[in-house]
């Protein structure tokens, strides 16, 4: 089984590193092509990726073809390779905002295609990736794609109609978390900690809290209850966040992303 990647940027590079590092995919089955040759050369040196001379060569060699370019580059990439894409290939796309009908206009509806929405945390093997197959996919093909993306984090089966909601929650929310870490670090600096130490503490506290919620499966507010002793200090901070509209700010931010995504789609 040959896995071919067209576009070897941040996301495709992270997926390839994850696949190679997992030990479940032999490096000589991973090939790719990128517009600027340095990224292909770097991955060839780093993980043993087999370099290709063109997108067409990748499309011809691959059993599983991964489209790793930006959505606006897709027409330029798909037009010259569409003749090489037939129903015995499996196409995987990570491009945001392009639905099945867009790809069907190039390959028809009989080519198995899986839409995947990973996030940038794939770089540290902690992506939350949504997976959605078209009607031409067989169950074992979907499982193969799940296995690829499990090598860079968690995988969720999400219907195409919910991709906008997933993108906001699983992808864009990463920016909110970074903003929260920055604000927490600044609060630490205000309280006299060095910026570097405050950031380390903010990262670890955020990571730990997420892990606690994930591993216990408890409702987050039950965990808040456990750390707010009556008349204590933490409840003072929780009260201020509630008064300042913390929850509605987050909900409105997610809504704004979903609405914009739908307008663009």
Ligand X SMILES: NC(=O)c1ccc[n+]([C@@H]2O[C@H](COP(=O)([O-])OP(=O)(O)OC[C@H]3O[C@@H](n4cnc5c(N)ncnc54)[C@H](OP(=O)(O)O)[C@@H]3O)[C@@H](O)[C@H]2O)c1
Q: Please report, as ranges, the residues that interact with ligand X according to CB under 6 A.
A: 6-12, 33-36, 39, 55, 68-71, 73, 76-77, 94-96, 117-120, 171
Q: Which is nearer to ligand X, 127 or 185 (CB)?
A: 127
Measured from the CB atom, is 41 or 228 closer to ligand X? 41
Nearer to ligand X, 198 or 257 (CB): 257
Least distance (Å) from ligand X to the CB of residue 116? 8
CB nearer to ligand X: pick between 157 and 225: 157
CB of 26 to ligand X, least distance (A): 24
Identity of the residue, 120 or 223, whose beta carbon is nearer to ligand X in the bound complex: 120
Q: How many other C-beta atoms can be found within 10 angstroms of the C-beta atom of residue 187?
A: 13
Rounded Cα distance between 256 and 265, Å, is 14
Q: How far is the CB of 122 from ligand X (least distance, A)?
A: 8
Q: Please say whether the beta carbons of 102 and 82 come within 8 A.
A: no
C-beta of residue 127 within 8 angstroms of C-beta of residue 119: yes
Q: How far is the CB of 239 from ligand X (least distance, A)?
A: 35
Distance of CA 163 to the CA centre of its chain: 12
How far apart CA 104 and CA 122 sit, in angstroms, is 28
Q: What is the CA radius of gyration of the chain?
A: 21
Number of residue whose CB is nearest ligand X = 9
- Compute the distance between CA of residue 147 and CA of residue 208 in angstroms, rounded to an integer: 26
**Least Å distance between CB 9 and ligand X?**
2
User: Measured between alpha carbons, how far is 119 from 128 in angstroms, rounded to an integer?
Assistant: 6
């Amino acid at each position: 089984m040959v896995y071919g990647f067209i576009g070897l940027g941040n996301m495709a590079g992270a997926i390839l590193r994850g696949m190679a590092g997992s030990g479940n995919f032999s490096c000589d089955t991973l090939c790719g092509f990128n517009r600027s040759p340095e990224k292909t050369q770097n991955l060839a040196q780093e993980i043993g990726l087999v370099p290709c001379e063109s997108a067409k060569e990748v499309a011809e060699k691959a059993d599983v073809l991964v489209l790793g370019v930006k959505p606006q580059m897709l027409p330029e990439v798909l037009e010259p390779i569409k003749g090489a894409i037939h129903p015995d290939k499996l196409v995987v796309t990570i491009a945001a905002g392009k639905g099945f009908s867009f790809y069907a206009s190039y390959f028809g509806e009989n080519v198995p295609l899986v839409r995947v929405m990973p996030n940038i945390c794939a770089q540290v093997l902690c992506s939350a990736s949504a997976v959605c197959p078209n009607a031409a996919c067989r169950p074992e093909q979907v499982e193969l794609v799940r296995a690829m993306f499990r090598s860079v984090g968690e995988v969720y089966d999400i219907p195409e109609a919910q991709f906008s909601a997933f993108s906001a929650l699983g992808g864009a929310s990463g920016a909110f978390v970074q903003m929260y870490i920055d604000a927490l670090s600044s609060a630490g600096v205000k309280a006299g900690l060095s910026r570097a130490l405050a950031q380390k503490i903010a990262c670890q506290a955020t990571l730990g809290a997420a892990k606690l919620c994930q591993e216990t499966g408890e409702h987050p507010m039950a965990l808040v209850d456990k750390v707010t002793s009556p008349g204590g200090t933490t409840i003072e901070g929780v009260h201020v966040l509630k008064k300042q509209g913390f929850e509605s700010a987050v909900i409105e931010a997610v809504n704004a992303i979903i609405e914009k995504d739908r307008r663009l789609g």
